[in-house]
């Protein structure tokens, strides 16, 4: 199944998300910068190899991302704010060139993070979206299961 155009536009048009991981039986949410493939097939983030996030990803590859527009609400009117929740699968990057390319993609999207991303312990995180739920205001919604054939 293909990603809905409105969902793809939200993913491509933003660069920040909340990422929730789970490890050791406890969830953890973090504000993250991301970059994305033009077709939204992979979303890239980065974290240090010594972080709880990285340990959680290695223990449990299922991740939830929240991309929303609450900060862009015109005149503070949040009645029409959209929020996109993505259920994703972490697919580790093993090849050094692929890791460098992912980190460079993030740095190109977020130049202010270039020094952070060049750290020796930095690990790129590649996520594959599996399910997408778009909420429009308090009552409108669309759901897509990208795993369905």
Q: Which CATH number covers residue 14?
A: 2.30.110.10
Q: How far apart are CA 19 and CA 3, in angstroms?
A: 20
pLDDT at residue number 80? 76
Range of the domain at 124: 5-145
Neighbours of 147 (CB within 10 A): 12
Looking at the structure of the chain, the number of domains it has is 1
Neighbours of 140 (CB within 10 A): 10
Confidence of residue 135 (pLDDT cuts 50, 70, 90): very high
Neighbours of 35 (CB within 10 A): 20
Please list, in sequence order, all residues whose beta carbon lies within 8 angstroms of the beta carbon of residue 61, skipping any fewer than 6 positions away: 89, 90, 91
Q: What is the pLDDT of residues 63-95, one digit of tens each?
A: 999 999 877 766 766 677 889 999 999 999 999
Q: What is the pLDDT of residues 29-64, one digit of tens each?
A: 999 999 999 999 999 999 999 999 999 999 999 999
């Amino acid at each position: 199944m293909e990603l809905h155009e409105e969902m793809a536009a939200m993913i491509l048009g933003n660069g920040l998300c909340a990422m929730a991981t789970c490890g050791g039986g406890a969830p953890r949410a973090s504000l993250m910068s991301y970059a994305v493939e033009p077709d939204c097939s992979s979303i890239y983030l980065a974290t240090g190899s010594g972080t709880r996030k990285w340990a959680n990803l290695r223990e449990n590859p299922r991740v939830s991302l929240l991309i929303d527009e609450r900060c862009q609400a015109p005149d503070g009117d949040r009645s029409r704010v959209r929020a996109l929740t993505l259920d994703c699968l972490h697919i580790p990057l093993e090849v050094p060139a692929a890791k460098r390319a992912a980190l460079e993609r993030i740095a190109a999207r977020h130049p202010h993070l270039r020094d952070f991303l060049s750290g020796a312990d930095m690990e790129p995180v590649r996520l594959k979206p599996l399910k997408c739920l778009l909420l429009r205001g308090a009552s409108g919604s669309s759901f897509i299961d990208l795993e369905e054939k």
